[in-house]
Amino acid sequence: MNQICERIRAMHGRIQTAAERFGRRPEDIRLLAVSKTHPAATVAAALACGQQAFGENYASELTEKAHALEGRDVTWHFIGPIQGNKTRAVAEIAHWVHAVDRERIARRLSDQRPEALPPLQVCIQVNVSGEASKSGITAAALPALAETVATLPHLQLRGLMAIPAPSEDFDTQRRAFARLRQAREDLIRRGHGLDTLSMGMSDDLEAAIAEGATLVRVGTAIFGSRSG
């Protein structure tokens, strides 16, 4: 078993341990391998280990790797901020987008999604820590954006995503993730059928799982240090 396989297996073990600790079912929590800055050959190595979902932050990398691995069973998640001039590549290639936080971007993704493809699966990014440097919509503005996304013909609103301010304190981590969980519950009460909470990375995934994460995003712990 190669090193990437060992790391993926260890991460699944960590997810299972956290799920059992907090009364969750491990099968309800998916692992997203964040492959940004790593070459297509490294993604292929992870594919050989059974990992199928990969996260990319840059449209150019997404395009390059998707072409290199064309025909392979890969689910591409675009998890970075989306520039208006990069929406076409994302709309044409990605299966999921995690960082929608503006109506203009949502409309462009829907307009540019090819008719032959299924709807693009969307998470709205919420700024749960109030950091000026972080992307994400405010909780107050979230309901209006969710209503818009839900009406767009080539998007399917699946859930919410957050990247809280870093903290080494477990309770602080949980409080941030609880805000995202509460935001999803509020939208569900408004009639949105949301099933996804994209939250938690290597340093805080236990707290995220405790608060209901359904998808955790892990990069370095699987692929090692990034080149950029």
**pLDDT, tens digit (0-9, with 9 covering 90-100), for 47-82:** 999 999 999 999 999 999 999 999 999 999 999 999
Q: Is the pLDDT of residue 224 over 90?
A: no
CA 81 to chain centre: 12
The per-residue pLDDT of the chain, averaged, comes to: 95
Rg of the chain taking only CA atoms, in angstroms:
17
Long-range contacts of 199-205 (CB under 8 A, 24+ apart): 199/160, 199/161, 199/162, 199/163, 199/164, 201/163, 203/166, 203/168, 204/164, 204/167, 204/173, 204/177, 205/14, 205/15, 205/18
Q: Is the pLDDT of residue 228 over 60?
A: no
- Average of per-residue pLDDT across 201-225: 95
Cα–Cα distances in Å, from 190 out to 96, 98, 146, 183? 23, 21, 10, 11
Cα–Cα distances in Å, from 38 out to 22, 30, 45, 216, 226? 33, 21, 11, 19, 7
| Of residues 56, 66, 53, 72, the one with CA closest to residue 12 | 53
Cα–Cα distances in Å, from 203 out to 10, 153, 165, 213, 220? 14, 37, 12, 14, 11
Q: Which domains does the chain have, with CATH numbers?
A: 3-223 (3.20.20.10)
**pLDDT, tens digit (0-9, with 9 covering 90-100), for 121-153:** 999 999 998 776 678 999 999 999 999 999 999
Separation between Cα atoms, residue 120 and residue 92, nearest integer Å = 9
Amino acid in the structure at residue 79 = I
**pLDDT, tens digit (0-9, with 9 covering 90-100), for 1-38:** 489 999 999 999 999 999 999 999 999 999 999 999 99
Q: Is the pLDDT of residue 95 over 90?
A: yes
First-last CA distance in the chain: 27
Whether the CB-CB separation of 43 and 66 falls below 8 Å is answered with no
pTM of this structure: 0.95
Q: Which residue has the tokens 């503006």?
A: 102
